[in-house]
Amino acid sequence: NKQVVLKNYVTGYPKESDMQIITSSIKLKIPEGTQNAVLLKNLYFSCDPYMQGRMTKLDTPSFAPSFQPGDGYGVVKILDSTHPNYKKGDLARGFTGWEEYTLAVDPQALIKIEQTDLPLSYYTGILGMPGVTAYAGFYELCSPKKGEYFYVLAASGAVGQIVGQLAKLLGCYAVGSAGSKEKVDLLKNNFRFDETFNYKEEPDLDAALKRYFPEGIDIYFENVGGKMLDAVLLNMRIRGRIAVCGMISQNNQEKPEGVHNLASVIGKRIRMEGFLADDFYQLYPKFLETVIPYIKQGKIVSVEDVAEGLESGPTSLVGLFFGRNVGKQLLVVYRE
């Protein structure tokens, strides 16, 4: 059983050498007398920015418990079961080990996949945690209305690409930024943003936003933080909304950058609210009901960056923090 395990707690940017691949033997059978257990074959793993936080030895409590070697979110197939809710051959998504096979007793963090006529890898992205994050952040926090001015960064990534397409479907004017020409082309051609730009080519972010939003921004979906948040605050409209999903530019900073323009929220009466996907799992059935027809009608598309094999795990995970992923980063271990 090949596994990815944590070798060192991470400080600053995670490195490939903080993880290692080990192999151990496992019997592909649930041990005699073990009740409520499932033996999982891990098919797809999701690579997510939050995993870096779990690899850090924290002195202060975090929203996520610290990393257990081998932890990850993925799509699994049930090979064997003594659990009343699962039978051999079922598919599920949720927390599992970063390894080929996992024995899970009382698997609370698994949800059965009922709809299997879409690519299973989608359950790591557009139909999984990033999807529900985009959906809940946009509809529950942003109070969006047709015709409003919407902005998102890391726009070609797992969450950004979905939230941008939801904004377009509602009739917002959507601008997306990303960090390379290839990604910017995706924003325009695949995700149909109205305007797009490479933020790395803009020496003055405030001036760039004034160019793309002469009337200001109604909704900012925050994925990045730091300098961009500062520039956005100067360009928000009165009663604008900011859904704070993540601040990846600050994840690896020992001393996070200060935000200088926060006082704008007062005069402009901006509503700025942080959230976690976990807060909205009750929305998941409604989210699937909304998004699956959109996917089937071609109204929402998913772009994935698929790495092959567990051996690619460390490189794929680290790549998120250097913008190497083009689309939702995932790892395929077995295709079924």
What is the strand order of the sheet 236-244 is part of?
195-198, 173-178, 149-152, 217-222, 236-244, 271-274
Per-residue tokens: 308: 């092959």
Q: Is residue 164 within 8 Å of residue 158, measured between CB atoms?
A: no
Identify residues 243-272 at the interface with ligand NDP (CB under 6 A): 245-249
Out of 1, 133, 302, 312, name the contact with ligand NDP by CB under 6 A: 133
d(CA 119, CA 214): 40
Numbers of helices and strands, H then E, in the chain: 9, 15
Out of 142, 173, 321, 330, name the contact with ligand NDP by CB under 6 A: 321
Q: In the complex with ligand NDP, which residue's Cβ is closer, 144 or 157?
A: 157
50 binding ligand NDP? (CB under 6 A): yes
Q: In the complex with ligand NDP, which residue's Cβ is closer, 137 or 240?
A: 137
176 binding ligand NDP? (CB under 6 A): no
CB of residue 71 to ligand NDP, shortest distance in Å: 16
Stretch that binds ligand NDP, among 65-73, 87-95, 255-263, 319-327 (CB under 6 A): 319-327
CB of residue 296 to ligand NDP, shortest distance in Å: 23
Q: In the complex with ligand NDP, which residue's Cβ is closer, 74 or 86?
A: 74
Which residues partner with 173 through β-bridges? 149
Identify residues 59-98 at the interface with ligand NDP (CB under 6 A): none
| Binding residues for ligand NDP, total number by CB under 6 A | 31
Which residues partner with 178 through β-bridges? 198
Out of 3, 42, 49, 333, name the contact with ligand NDP by CB under 6 A: 49
Nearest to 300 by CA among 328, 336, 281, 279: 328
Out of 40, 79, 159, 208, name the contact with ligand NDP by CB under 6 A: 159
> Helix (H, G, I), strand (E, B), or coil: what is residue 106?
coil
Nearest to 17 by CA among 31, 5, 35: 5
Provide the angle, in degrees to the nearest 10, between the axes of the packed helices 129-136 and 284-296.
100
- What is the binding site for ligand NDP (CB under 6 A)? 48-50, 130, 133, 154, 156-160, 178-180, 183, 223-224, 245-249, 275-277, 320-321, 323, 325, 328-329
